[in-house]
Amino acid sequence: MADSWVFRISGAVDRPVLDRLRAELGLSKVGRLADDWDELFGEAEWAIQGKVVRVELWRDVDSQEWRLELESPDPLPEAEKVSLGERVQAGLRLAGLEVASIIKRP
């Protein structure tokens, strides 16, 4: 059974904030802020305890809200889940953003 979360982001995302967030979380540089139709703005794969966690940064076309989606095809130990959440929140804070909410997907 996979582990999957959505971190909804609070705060204004402009070019410097986006660049900082990508750098803090090791995300690739994809998407153009000026293009209203671009949705994916970064992706990475993190290795945690020998398991892969896929990380994607999205901007919703309709609402313009930002979110980070994390997914591991394998279940993670509880301590690693906590560490993963702390890593995401630290990266957001360093970029000047906050977590608006966290949704654990079934």
pTM: 0.93
36-47 residue pLDDT tens: 889 999 999 999
Among all chains, which residue has been given the structure tokens 């394998």? 74
Local structure of 102: helix, strand or coil: strand
pLDDT of res. 1 = 64
CA 82 to chain centre: 15
Residue ranges per domain, the chain?
Answer: 3-105
Give Cβ neighbours of residue 104 (< 8 Å, ≥ 6 apart). Answer: 4, 5
Class of domain 3-105: alpha beta
20-62 residue pLDDT tens: 999 999 999 999 998 888 999 999 999 988 889 999 999 998 8
78-102 residue pLDDT tens: 999 999 999 999 999 999 999 999 9
